[in-house]
Structure 1
């Protein structure tokens, strides 16, 4: 067909569309009736038009991999679990290394790092151990984030001078901020300020990779835009330092909206969250098992979580179309707004001493808590719905005898340098009340 189907139709401007909508509203206020105001200060309009677009963002195509997270308590068991996961479709394995006594040779035995991406996330900081890892496996990606450790626990691994030493890669873990209730704008700004603290200390040193660990929430289009905005903001900051390191985004569904009651609904939540991560341009997607918050690691939950990603990749063809969100005026606009607001907040953080200084002053913790309280109020009032928990709950659900893990905030009194950022799920109070009455 050589003729355009739409050449006979006149273009309709955004102004004309709005006038038509206002006529159809029959006197009702356009802003009050159709504009959705978010907690992040972004007004979502009923329509978006090409003539309002200043520019579009060509996010580079990203080949994403199916990830599997394995905690290493016993090297042989972890190794066998990894080999089994690879045989069942996992393409990236992230080993959580709890202490320097873990043998990396045993953990990685018979795993081909040429065909499987290997990440080693350290829950400690030991330069000698890091050097040993480099000698054993040059391709293994080290994931260690001293500032993230400070934010989440209130203490450095050892002390500030000891832990702020770096190799060829940096890691910024923003999952703590999201799981504690930070808005998307805050997550982006805090992640950028977090990275800036590192870049200030390694200026002039060659960096190959910047790893961003990101939690993805359930606000589908906003989460797509968040990851796209992260790449834009990273490019802006990296250019200021003439840093040519590649950005790798490792995404995982949030814990904040997960529930212990009607737990199968968690699979629906993680599916859309993984879809947002893929469409937003994540390099690796790690799924969260539906029972992760109350069950110990188990083969069934992990297999279901991995299969969700495999279905998206091989049956839903989420690996066949790159940058599917390019050209969506709505997502492009959200990307712009999130980027601009995050950059403004980032500049404010830097003008007031930087990220570490604001952590020590308690400012970051206070702002996240304020955002979390607003979201909690929406949930408590039923304006934010978690199906099966604050809407349409199944009164016959019994969970008291299913809890292998404590699914609520744990408070262990200890001395900390700063107030830690505490992760908390929205449904915790409701669930605790229900457990008492079972």
Structure 2
């Protein structure tokens, strides 16, 4: 072979037509479409193979930049005791975490004490705030400016409405506070929590459309967004579809943001879904979160916060945190997932999925906007209804055994006992109260079955 010729140039090219003919021959008369083509919950027909001669380069040449440097290992820390949280953050960084996310529930926390002795210049610190305070946002900005620290503030009144059914205060005052914060904040401050859509049972097209519609409400109501926007997303178990989901999300966000002259890329924080996690045979959760983290990396997430295998029923603990962090460390340093830019580029299957998911999500987004926008659709209960319908379809598949969770509805260990290990209540909590809208409820597939098993334990 001449050294000037491309590799494999001596071999004849095989067209998609020839592949199909050979497959049809091997099927011995079975129908190609009925046997090998399957349809996803999003209405996407998945073929057994994808070929270059079926690719329209003009529609699959996406500008999706996912550099290898983007993937950082994020450690979640709930701040109850400031001193212990500070010590835990330092210990996590020493053990391989590359960024920290503090969840702070009130504005009395001392930022100086929380950040004492922590490395500031090369580590990103996120602050997830389930409250809305202009003064506290100022404190965070002042500390970051004074100490040259990279802070991300996560404020999401719309996410609060989705999850709780109520605004922090009310729509007018919440958006007024965000507009005031936008005028002085040097740190990224807007957050879009789209994890709730996946964890409640929305399909991928719905997740993407609702996330973009969620973002569009902020662009409409806060004109001066000059900072990157953080998007929290939950990653499910459908490996290639989840890779394509993250790529489609970045593509859709960039398209939307450009309409508002917002030229900054979004900051995607990915976490494995809770929806397919199980109480029984809980070690299988580690296998699930490993593939979900792989999808997040290949899809181009900026930061990944893994879900500990025992997060459903144990309080935060050092062992669970260490195992979940080590899963990401193995992927990064032993599997070399941090060595390639744009790793999914050129994969015809993934690019086809990305294109189809983005197109379907864009159509749904346009329908939401044509009917008054995301907040109006939430207020009328339409979003909740659509998610509930999608969740029920998936639940029916699980209940019938067509969707399998090993150790739970397939090959369960009858001797597995969990009743005395529960430190946390692992099911949907019933809390009847008056709300402005019907909240979106996160629910795992295995809950009903697990409750039945728990009731039968001695």
User: TM-score when scaled to structure 2?
Assistant: 0.93
> Are 2:35 and 1:33 aligned?
yes
2:376 aligned to 357, 361, 364, which one?
357
2:340 is matched with which residue?
321
1:58 deviates by: 4.4
Q: Does 345-354 or 26-35 show the bigger shift?
A: 26-35
CA distance, structure 1, for counterparts of residue 54 and residue 104 of structure 2: 49
CA distance, structure 1, for counterparts of residue 161 and residue 40 of structure 2: 30
1:178 aligned to 177, 198, 219, which one?
198
CA contact (8 A) 2:397 2:403 kept: yes
1:102 is matched with which residue?
109
CA distance, structure 2, for counterparts of residue 216 and residue 358 of structure 1: 25
SS in 2 for 1:172: strand
SS in 1 for 2:316: coil
> Are 2:220 and 1:196 aligned?
no
> Are 2:128 and 1:156 aligned?
no
> Are 2:252 and 1:250 aligned?
no
1:57 aligned to 57, 62, 78, which one?
62
Where do 1:232-271 residues align within 5 Å?
232-271=251-290
2:364 aligned to 323, 337, 345, which one?
345
Q: Deviations over 1:327-347 (max 9, x none)?
A: 111000000010000000000
CA contact (8 A) 1:35 1:43 kept: yes
> Are 2:316 and 1:297 aligned?
yes
1:378 is matched with which residue?
397
Where do 1:81-120 residues align within 5 Å?
81-120=88-127
CA distance, structure 1, for counterparts of residue 413 and residue 50 of structure 2: 40
> Are 2:428 and 1:409 aligned?
yes
CA distance, structure 2, for counterparts of residue 256 and residue 153 of structure 1: 19
C-alpha RMSD of the superposition: 1.2
Q: Deviations over 1:158-183 (max 9, x none)?
A: 11111112425421110000100000
CA distance, structure 2, for counterparts of residue 155 and residue 276 of structure 1: 33
SS in 1 for 2:77: strand
1:238 deviates by: 1.0
Task: Note the residue ranges of structure 2 that are not aligned, 5 or more in a row.
Answer: none
CA distance, structure 1, for counterparts of residue 241 and residue 137 of structure 2: 37
CA distance, structure 2, for counterparts of residue 413 and residue 61 of structure 1: 44
SS in 2 for 1:137: helix
CA distance, structure 2, for counterparts of residue 106 and residue 416 of structure 1: 36
> Are 2:140 and 1:121 aligned?
no
1:13 is matched with which residue?
15
Task: Note the residue ranges of structure 1 that are not aligned, 5 or more in a row.
Answer: none
User: TM-score when scaled to structure 1?
Assistant: 0.98
CA contact (8 A) 1:197 1:354 kept: yes
Q: Once superposed, which parts of structure 1, at least 4 consecutive aligned residues long, lie more than 4 Å away?
A: none
CA distance, structure 2, for counterparts of residue 416 and residue 238 of structure 1: 32
SS in 1 for 2:430: coil
CA distance, structure 2, for counterparts of residue 206 and residue 73 of structure 1: 31
1:5 deviates by: 4.2
CA distance, structure 2, for counterparts of residue 123 and residue 76 of structure 1: 21
1:306 aligned to 325, 339, 345, which one?
325
